[in-house]
Amino acid sequence: MNYQLFPLTSLLLLPFMTPNNPNFKLDVTSEIGNLRVLLVHSPDSGLGKVVPSKAQDWLFEDIVHLDTMRGGEYDHYIKLLMYFLDPAKIKGKLAEINDPANKRNFFKPDNAGFHNSTKVVEIQTLLSDILQHADIRKKLVAAVCAIEGVTYRLQLQLIDIEPVELAKIFISGSLNDEQMIFAPIPNMIFSRDIGIAINNHMLLNKPAKKARARETLLVRYIFFNHPLFEGYRDNILEIPDTVQHFLRPGEEQESKTTLEGGDVMMVAPNHLLIGWSERTSVSGANEAIKLLFENDVVEKVTIVKIPHKRDYMHIDTVFTQVKRNVWVLLRSLTPGEPSQEDAEPIAWFADKKNKDKPEIVQFRKGKKPKTFATLEALLDNISQKDLQSEEATRFIYSGNNEFPYDAREQWTDSCNLLALKEGVVLGYDRNDKTVEAFKQSGFSIVKVQDLLQQFETDELDPQSMTDTLILMPSAELSRARGGFHCMSMPLQRDSLI
């Protein structure tokens, strides 16, 4: 087969695409402190090549319309992040950015008009940077080709492709955006799953599915080789497999050492949550805890076991934090005991052990483990003890805790919210009952399209916003089964305490 390739340019003369950020520091101590820097990946052409017969193998529930996902939905996310994190890149330029004649160049990492922010950092740009080094390029090409099982001749040809184009190929799986040589890695838009910043350390994760092997490899090379993280290389933690892992029988999830970022939450400087879920095994959680305690990264880690079902996938599909004392939560996973006066006769004979009830155990370095009866009890403890809230803990429930909307809206990520600052979160516009629950809790509701215009015309200052749910268009994004918490890897937040 003949491949049309791009020739290698004079790499040593090329400056890094990512500008220097002298104020950058790896520092995440909560889920809700003012967001300063995060790592994202905008939907690439690979998402437009997912076919129905392979969608579930590639961890997508459905095929998406790429142009709508980009221009009609995800682009609003990037613009919103810019106004909050890097306003100089967008203020006064919104009309130009939105002009169809500019063909979305602001959002394309391989284009001269790309925003190239040092606060809203694009994974593809960092990958292009490290590929300028011949030694790194050869090693990474060899590693990718080994994973994908391509021919040796193609491996030699890929080495000679210029860095910007090679980064696109690694991510999209296609030469010249047309000829597929690898499977796409559509889940790279869910950057949270690949790594988690914990205080000033970075925990690199071990995804459960083969479909995510290439993106894990690419991000590992970025963190160990890009100058942005040079001062933190000794703080990068990699989860090892268990001793004699090659002797374990079969390929069952329970026997693997896996951990994904959607199951990890940095809720306080001394406290990390890890979910034991469909995608994260107890072995993965165990190895992560050992690493974190050995390196004195945190003082306590709480494991939250949730049902191993596709409905839930990660703990951030079940709950996320909104404010120091406010959480959004799927109520059906934390049912209370019915009073004996109200119980129907069948309740006397029902199985007393609810198989869907989470199991919660907190491990503290040098102390005995501690258990929590419900998710509400754990989250209240975090708010009151870890974050020293002066107000009572409140819960906003998915679907306003009404059946069947609670389950329907949890499936479309009503609980998977990203906090830009304390009390200001963004989520999907389709979850009407959850939106109503936010209103009842005193939150303002605003559509992102209206908000962007208010920022541009100085009607509103992003930094002055409080207690607001920002609604994002989601017809195509929601098909991918992940919300904005999934689509973000925070690298720097302001401290809460």
Q: What is the DSSP string of 343-404?
A: --GGGGTS-SS-TTS-EEEEEETTS--EEESSHHHHHHHIIIIIS--SS--EEEEGGGG-TT
User: How buried is residue 368: exposed, middle or buried, by Cβ count under 10 Å (0-12/13-18/19+)?
Assistant: exposed
CA proximity to 61, closest of 186, 248, 230, 241: 186
How far apart CA 419 and CA 34 sit, in angstroms, is 8
pLDDT of residue 14: 47
429-438 pLDDT per residue, tens? 999 999 999 9
Q: Which amino acid is at 455?
A: F
- Span 136-151, mean pLDDT? 96
Q: Judge whether 121 and 129 are in contact, CB under 8 Å.
A: no
Cα dihedral sign, 449-38-41-63: negative
Distance CA 192, CA 262 (A): 6
CA gap 394, 72 in Å, rounded: 33
For residue 2, pLDDT beyond 70: no
The alpha carbon of residue 451 and the mean position of all alpha carbons in its chain are separated, in whole angstroms, by 23
Q: Is the pLDDT of residue 11 over 50?
A: no
Q: How many angstroms separate the CA atoms of 214 and 195, rounded?
A: 14
**pLDDT for 16 beyond 80:** no
What is the average per-residue pLDDT within 190-207? 94
Cα 395 to Cα 319: distance, rounded to the nearest angstrom: 10
**Token pair of 416 as six digits:** 């998977």
Q: Is 342 helix (H, G, I), strand (E, B) or coil?
A: coil
Lowest mean pLDDT among 42-46, 139-143, 304-308, 333-337: 333-337
Rounded (10°) angle between helices 213-225 and 134-148 = 160
pLDDT in tens, 301-320: 999 999 988 788 899 999 99
The pLDDT of 393-422, averaged and rounded, is 97
CA 91 to chain centre: 26
Judged against a pLDDT cut of 60, whether residue 339 lies above it is answered with: no
Confidence of residue 5 (pLDDT cuts 50, 70, 90): very low
488 closest CA partner among 161, 182, 194, 103: 194
pLDDT band at 147 (very low <50, low <70, confident <90, very high): very high
- What is the model's pLDDT at position 9? 42
Please tell me which residue, 278 or 432, carries the higher pLDDT value: 432
Q: What is the pLDDT of residues 377-389, one digit of tens each?
A: 999 999 999 999 9
Amino acid (1-letter code) at residue 109: P
Average pLDDT, the chain: 90
Query: What is 120-181 written as a DSSP string?
Result: EEEHHHHHHHHTTSHHHHHHHHHHHHHHHT--HHHHHHHHTS-HHHHHHHHHH-EETTTEES
pLDDT at 200 over 70: yes
Q: Pick the residue with more confidence: 60 or 326?
A: 326
Q: Is the pLDDT of residue 253 over 70?
A: no
- Nearest CA among 433, 394, 417, 422 for reference residue 470: 417
For residue 246, the number of C-alpha atoms closer than 13 Å in the C-beta half-sphere is 0
Cβ contact 17:128 at 8 Å? yes
Q: Whose CA is closest to 76, among 490, 433, 398, 427?
A: 427
H-type alpha helices, 190-281:
213-225
Whole-angstrom distance between the N-terminal and C-terminal Cα of the chain?
60
Tokens at 202, concatenated: 């970075």
pLDDT more than 70, % of the chain: 90
Q: Would you state the pLDDT for residue 70?
A: 96
Q: Mapping DSSP to helix (H, G, I), strand (E, B) and coil, where does residue 274 land?
A: strand
Per-residue pLDDT band at 350 (split at 50, 70, 90): low
pLDDT at 480 over 70: yes
pLDDT greater at residue 245 or residue 159: 159
Read off the tokens for 289: 């805890």
What is the per-residue pLDDT for 42?
96
pLDDT in tens, 86-119: 999 999 999 999 999 999 999 999 999 999 999 9
Strand partners, 361: 303, 371
* pLDDT at residue 369, rounded to an integer: 97
For range 464-487, the mean pLDDT: 94
Q: Are 169 and 4 in contact (CB under 8 A)?
A: no
Whether this model's pTM surpasses 0.75: yes
